[in-house]
Structures are given as structure tokens and as C-alpha cells.
């Protein structure tokens, strides 16, 4: 065959291949929101995560933060972080597996195990990495992992990294969970659920789930990112809330909510934690948690134990806001936690409402499809123990005015 013909044929084939960046050029939805002044994401905050924050030099009431106990700017937490920074420097220059394990890492693991009333704990650099590492380490080719349909994205991604079968049951529907268990033919199963669902704010029906799991010998892991420091008599989370701590096999937690830092951990039986420690790729191949973040968590745990009034204040603020929204006529769904969604339905309406609230000095978060089903767009609000009644009254008034303007009330 003529060499020029071959060359022309090769070029023609190459020219039919799509440009990997073409999707980026067609991604116009966000720019349209920006042009309309309705883009509510990546807003730049110029102060600490307190009940009030500074944005563009303007003071706003923050009801979009997961700083549930108000510890992010606590003097003792900052003092501990500075102490660790001065002693150990800014980082560990390696992974936990090799050169990056400090004495304070081990001390925090022991402290977390005691706090969660488990034999052992293992800390990771981020909460997201906990779910990636734990699920992919435990679930093998002939296994199955069973999820609530509204589980967090990090759980979904952890399942994708595993070689097991993934099965889902209807949200918080324990009859459907039992059906899925009964139909599963896998060698072994791991059930992974959120303790508190991060968008809806409702709590998993853990006693019923554990009853079915035991019947089918499915081990249970609870992602309690939004439960630790929030639920339970002493802030130990969802399992303590229900009085079933001994029955939950693994409890995952993060520091970026009530524990005033960044990172995450898994707590459970020592043999299981030992296995995860040597099999979780997101632990072995990631840089170690920074000394200052580790020390901050340790201080936050001490404060939770020494200042139980923070949990009381958080519950009081939660009830005030839930009662206020319901009395106005807003739909808040089945929430039982400081996460209170205001369901508005239409995506564009949610963007408009968020920006109107922003202009009234109230910072909220917008959640639209695909994060929630189409037609279920919401304004996600969340509260701190340190919010004052005056601040919360301002928020309720802003919602009332905005809801009336938009025809939601």
C-alpha cells in the first residue's frame, strides 16, 4: 500500500478521536449561574469558623458550618496546635507506614479508642481516606458491601475501589435492608451506613439494622462523621445515642466537624484495626497527618469531656431552629440533628433563596441534584453550640422574609 495513503489513513483515524478536554469547554451551567449572580459555592471567608464570619469585609451569621461544638477557634485547641507546631514542625515528610508516625499519632489513637470505647483506633489524614481505605481493604472479590442509598460519597468511592459486589437498600428502610441481606449470595458481607445523614440530618435506625445484620452475620460499620460530638449522652455518637456501642463493629469518625481539625479515624477490635493498618492503601500511600491537626483533636476530645454543657447548648439551638422553621411552614424532612434542611424543590429557586439570604447577612449552603433527587433541592443549614438566641432569631427572620418573597410560605 502506498505509504502516503497509509499516513493519510492514520491521520484520519486520529482526527476522529475526541479531545479529552472537550467536556470542559461545554461546561457552561456554572458560568450561567455566575453571570446571573446565583453562584453560591467557593465563597471566600476571611475569618475563623465562628457563629459569625467575615465575607468581603462584611459580617454574616454562619449557619452553613459543621463546627457543631464551636471548638474550631477555642483557645485550648489553638494552644495545642501551636505547641505541636513548635515541637514537631509543619509536617511529617512521609507516610505513617514508613517515617511519618510520631508519638502523638499513637497517643491520639489510644485516646480515640478509649473515647469510642473500642479496643483500638487508627488515624488517617482525611475522613474521606478512611472510607476509601477501610472498605477497599476489607471487601474482597467474593464479598459484598451493603449500603444505604443516601450514604456519603466517600463510602461510594470506597466501594468502587474494592473488588466486591455493591448492593443498596432504600434509605433507612430496614425491611428493604433485610430483603437485600436475604438475597445476597456473597461469601461475606460488610454493611456501611451513615450514623447521621449529612444532607437530610436524619439518624439511621441502628437498632433495627443491627438486629438484621446479626441474623445474616453481616459486620456493621457506621460512618459517624456528623454524630460524634453531637449525639449520645457524652457525645460518643449514634451508637451511644441508641445504647448499642458493643454491637457496632467499626465506627468511623472525622475531625472536621465537632473535633475542630482535619483528618479521620476508624475504631474497632484490635485484630481488625491491625489488618486495616497494613492493608489500607489510602493510609500506606498518603502523607501522615500534620502534628498540629493531631494535637488539636486531642484537645477537642478533652473539652468534650470537660464541658458537657456544649452538647446541651447544641441540642437547645437545634430544637429552637427546627421548631421555628416548622412553625413558619417550611419543609424540614425527618431531621433529628443540628443539620436542618429547608426543602424548596426547584434548583433555581434554591439558588435564588441562598443568594437572597446571603444579601440579608445569612450564610447557608445549597444542595441540588444530583446530590439530592431532582425536585428535592434544599437549603442546608447547620448549627453550633455557640450560636446565640439573638443570632438565631435573625436567621429565622431572614428565612421568613425570603420564604414570603419567593412564595414558599
Active site residue 359: no
Quote the CA–CA distance of 62 and 383 in Å, as a whole number: 8
Could you say which DSSP state residue 337 is in?
S
Question: Which of 263, 230, 265 shows the shortest CA–CA distance to 114?
Answer: 265
Considering the candidates 118, 152, 226, 358, report the single residue annotated as catalytic. Answer: 226
Which ranges of 206-346 would DSSP assign to H, the alpha helix? 206-215, 238-242, 270-279, 281-284, 291-306, 309-328
Beta bridge partners of 268: 120, 250
Give counts: helices (H), strands (E), the chain.
Answer: 16, 13
Residues 6+ away with beta carbon under 8 Å from 40: 351, 354, 355, 358, 365, 366
- The single residue of 74, 152, 241, 257 carrying the catalytic annotation is 257
Residues 114, 136 contacting (CB under 8 angstroms)? no
Within 226-269, residue ranges assigned H as helices are: 238-242
Beta-bridged to residue 222, according to DSSP, are: 193, 251
Strand 58-62: give its sheet, edge to edge.
Answer: 52-55, 58-62, 362-363
Pair 195, 339: CB distance under 8 Å: no
- Which residue among 65, 136, 162, 198 is the active-site one? 198
Residue pair 338/318 in contact by the 8 Å Cβ criterion? yes
Q: Respond yes or no: is residue 154 known to be catalytic.
A: no
Whether 65 is catalytic: no
Determine if the peptide bond prior to 370 is cis (ω within 30°): yes
End-to-end CA distance of the chain: 75
* Active-site annotation, residues: 198, 226, 257
Amino acid at each position: 500500500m502506498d505509504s502516503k495513503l497509509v499516513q493519510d489513513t492514520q491521520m484520519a483515524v486520529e482526527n476522529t478521536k475526541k479531545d479529552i478536554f472537550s467536556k470542559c469547554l461545554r461546561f457552561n451551567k456554572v458560568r450561567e449561574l455566575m453571570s446571573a449572580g446565583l453562584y453560591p459555592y467557593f465563597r471566600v471567608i476571611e475569618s475563623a469558623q465562628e457563629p459569625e464570619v467575615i465575607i468581603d469585609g462584611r459580617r454574616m451569621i454562619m449557619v452553613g458550618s459543621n463546627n457543631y461544638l464551636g471548638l474550631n477557634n477555642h483557645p485550648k485547641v489553638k494552644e495545642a496546635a501551636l505547641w505541636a507546631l513548635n515541637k514537631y514542625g509543619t509536617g511529617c515528610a512521609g507516610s505513617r507506614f514508613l517515617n511519618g508516625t510520631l508519638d502523638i499519632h499513637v497517643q491520639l489513637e489510644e485516646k480515640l479508642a478509649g473515647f469510642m470505647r473500642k479496643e483500638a483506633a487508627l488515624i488517617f489524614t482525611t475522613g474521606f481516606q478512611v472510607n476509601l481505605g477501610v472498605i477497599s481493604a476489607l471487601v474482597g472479590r467474593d464479598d459484598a458491601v451493603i449500603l444505604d442509598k443516601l450514604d456519603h460519597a466517600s463510602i461510594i468511592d470506597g466501594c468502587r475501589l474494592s473488588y466486591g459486589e455493591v448492593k443498596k437498600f432504600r434509605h433507612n428502610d430496614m425491611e428493604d435492608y433485610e430483603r437485600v441481606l436475604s438475597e445476597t449470595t456473597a461469601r461475606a458481607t460488610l454493611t456501611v451506613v451513615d450514623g447521621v445523614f449529612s444532607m437530610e440530618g436524619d439518624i439511621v435506625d441502628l437498632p433495627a439494622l443491627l438486629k438484621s445484620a446479626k441474623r445474616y452475620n453481616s459486620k456493621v460499620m457506621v460512618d459517624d462523621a456528623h454524630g460524634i460530638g453531637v449525639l449520645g449522652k457524652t457525645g460518643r455518637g449514634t451508637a451511644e445515642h441508641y445504647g448499642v456501642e458493643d454491637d457496632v463493629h467499626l465506627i468511623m469518625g472525622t475531625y472536621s466537624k465537632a473535633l475542630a481539625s482535619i483528618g479521620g479515624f476508624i475504631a474497632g477490635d484490635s485484630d481488625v484495626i491491625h489488618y486495616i493498618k497494613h492493608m489500607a492503601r489510602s493510609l500506606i500511600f498518603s502523607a501522615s497527618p500534620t502534628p498540629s491537626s493531631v494535637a488539636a483533636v486531642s484537645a477537642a476530645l478533652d473539652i468534650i469531656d470537660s464541658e458537657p454543657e456544649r452538647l446541651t447548648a447544641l441540642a437547645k439551638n437545634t430544637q429552637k431552629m427546627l421548631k421555628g422553621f416548622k412553625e413558619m411552614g417550611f419543609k424540614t424532612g425527618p431531621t433529628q440533628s443540628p443539620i436542618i434542611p429547608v426543602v424548596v424543590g426547584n434548583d433555581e429557586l434554591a439558588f435564588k433563596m441562598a443568594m437572597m439570604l446571603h444579601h440579608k447577612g445569612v450564610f447557608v449552603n445549597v444542595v441540588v441534584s444530583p446530590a439530592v433527587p431532582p425536585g428535592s433541592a434544599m437549603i442546608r443549614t447547620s448549627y453550633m453550640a455557640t450560636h446565640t438566641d439573638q443570632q438565631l432569631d435573625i436567621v429565622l427572620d431572614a428565612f421568613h422574609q425570603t420564604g414570603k418573597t419567593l412564595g414558599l410560605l
